Amino acid sequence: MYFPIAGEHYFRMDIEKYIASGILELYVAGELSEEENMEVFRNAQLYPKIKEEIQAIEASVLALSKTVTPNIARKKGFDDLKVRIGQRRDTTVVQLPRPKRNWSARIGWAAAVLLGAGLSWFFYENSRLQSEFDVIYKENTVLRQEIFEARSSLNSTEEIMNAFRDKDVIFTPLEGQEVAPSSYARVYWSKNEQKVYIDALGLPEPPEGKVYQVWSLTLNPLSPTSIGILDSFASDGDKIFELSNPNESQAFGITLEPEGGSDTPTMEQLYTLGQLEAS
């Protein structure tokens, strides 16, 4: 789903809808692309309500993850961590009795200090390279995932394009009916594959608790068969839905039904209807 960057071309965005889409939950999970992350961040700065929602989502994940922390006496703690990151200051200095001058021992100590310095430089360098490597590895994983996602979205677009262009595909426009005269939809029916693609861009968003249901109709006698529901209509970006249709359809209709769909169409809520061209 695409949301415009707030403030650029749109004066207002539908905050409730944005929140309901579930994008913020994925933001907290770290499952969004870099661009989407930036966009959520900007929106959170513009709209306090979005920021609060993000904080509440995060709080719930924090509460849950806290309960599964292992039951151990915390042996290590922050002091151990400070040692690991080289930040521990020695607070106690043990005073040793002054040794007699012993040159061989001094040279020994000097060598040890040099060796120690060399080693710590080596470890520092090693851990620096390791963390650099980790960052690059992570970036690489993110990129791979982005490519993968772009590719799968491209594949499905191609699939739809092919379906639309196929000469065996029957195209039927559905016209707006009494309850919604200005609405429309298009049906592309591939009889061989027993599939229909519904282009539902011309339908308004269904009210809360309602869904669109698609019907295959035979005329004389008029009998409707449900083909399916336009699932997650609001969050679907291109509003193209794929349903299977093994029926010998003569017409298609779309009605508004309570969530979950109905057994028979509610004719008072018939949004669009279209008959196949007689062949």
Partner 1 sequence: MELDGLVRRFQKKDIIAFEKLYGMYWDNICGVVYTIVKDRERAEEISQDVFAKAWNNSESYNPGKGRFFTWVLNIARNAAIDELRSKSYKNQKKNLSLNYFVDIADKQDISRISDHIGLKKLVKNLSRKCIELIELLYFKGYTQKEASEQLDIPLGTVKTRNRSCISQLRENITLEWT
Residues found near partner 1 in the complex (CB under 8 A)? 20-23, 25-31, 34, 37-38, 41-42, 54, 56-72, 75-76, 78, 80-82, 84-85, 87, 127-128, 131, 134-135, 138, 145, 148-149, 152, 231-232, 235-236
Which lies closer to partner 1 via its Cβ, residue 122 or residue 148? 148
116 to each of 86, 89, 91, 93, 139, how far by Cα in Å? Answer: 14, 17, 20, 19, 34
CB-count exposure of residue 109 (10 Å: 0-12, 13-18, 19+)? exposed
Which lies closer to partner 1 via its Cβ, residue 13 or residue 26? 26
Of 271, 146, 174, the C-alpha closest to 213 is 271
Question: Minimum Å distance from CB 101 to partner 1?
Answer: 39
Which lies closer to partner 1 via its Cβ, residue 106 or residue 128? 128
Which lies closer to partner 1 via its Cβ, residue 28 or residue 200? 28
Question: Minimum Å distance from CB 268 to partner 1?
Answer: 28
Question: Minimum Å distance from CB 206 to partner 1?
Answer: 14
Which lies closer to partner 1 via its Cβ, residue 191 or residue 195? 195
CB-count exposure of residue 176 (10 Å: 0-12, 13-18, 19+)? middle
Which lies closer to partner 1 via its Cβ, residue 21 or residue 262? 21
E strands along 177-250, which residues?
184-190, 195-199, 210-218, 223-229, 240-244
Question: Minimum Å distance from CB 164 to partner 1?
Answer: 20
165 to each of 15, 160, 168, 246, how far by Cα in Å? Answer: 38, 9, 9, 20
Q: Mapping DSSP to helix (H, G, I), strand (E, B) and coil, where does residue 132 land?
A: helix
Question: Minimum Å distance from CB 204 to partner 1?
Answer: 19
Question: Minimum Å distance from CB 272 to partner 1?
Answer: 22
